[in-house]
Amino acid sequence: MKAWRVVVIALSFLLLSGCLVTFKEPLPTSDPAPKGLLGKWTSTNAWGEPMNLELTRIGDNRYQAVSYFKAKPKEREAYPFTVSRHGSRWYLSAKVPAQFGGHFTIAGFELTDKHELVVYNLDVEQINQALGQKTLSGEGFQTDDGDGVLINTNMDQVFAYLDDPANSDVFVEAVRYQRLAKAK
């Protein structure tokens, strides 16, 4: 789980209660990252440890998140991701490690007027309710660290669900980064 926690930190998908929402399909299109996303960010994780996040371009509409703890700058993990804008929201998507199914995870994000990067996780309880109501389809899975949900609904239907104002509470703030000040 240690490697997955780094992925979670790197892309700010905090595993709330050990639960993970994954998708069979990645985001349908990759858009250029919004102005201001790339660069160096800083935050403190749930355990009070300062951490840094570097977001860079690695190809056409492909990006990489490199995460490391401030106390251990040489211990870095890098993970590729894509971004997509759908409606008024920005999303990022990354492949989940094979031990967690090898599918894809999706998070929402925004860049605030205060030069913060705020990342939103999908609330697994809300997703489970959508499964129970047959709004989305999928199945549960188990990991050593808790329950997960694999959504197999096509992405058009997923976005219809996510874009519905009645479902705005499906997103919960996972982490808030500040732009890392440049050293003089």
| pLDDT of 139 over the 50 cut | yes
Residues 6 or more apart whose CB falls under 8 angstroms from that of 158 comprise 23, 136, 151
Q: Are 105 and 20 in contact (CB under 8 A)?
A: yes
Q: Is residue 60 part of a domain?
A: yes
pLDDT tier at 19, thresholds 50, 70, 90: low
Q: Is residue 173 part of a domain?
A: yes
Q: Is residue 157 part of a domain?
A: yes
Q: Is residue 184 part of a domain?
A: no
| Ramachandran quadrant class, 70 (left: phi over 0; alpha: psi -120 to 50; beta: rest) | alpha
CA 25 – CA 14 distance, rounded (Å) = 21
How many residues would you count in the chain? 184
Closest among 39, 41, 34, 38 to 9, alpha carbons compared: 41
Residues facing residue 105 across a β-bridge: 94
Q: Print the domain residue range for 104.
A: 2-179
pLDDT tier at 18, thresholds 50, 70, 90: very low
Report if pTM > 0.85: no
| pLDDT of 182 over the 90 cut | no
| pLDDT of 48 over the 50 cut | yes
Q: Is residue 102 part of a domain?
A: yes
pLDDT of residue 63: 94
High-pLDDT (> 70) share of the chain, %: 86
Total domain count, the chain: 1
Q: Is residue 19 part of a domain?
A: yes
What is the phi/psi pair of residue 76, to 5°?
A: -115, 145
Instruction: Please give the residue that has the higher pLDDT: either 114 or 3.
Output: 114
Q: Is residue 152 part of a domain?
A: yes
Q: Is residue 66 part of a domain?
A: yes
- 50: buried, middle or exposed (CB in 10 Å: 19+, 13-18, 0-12)? exposed
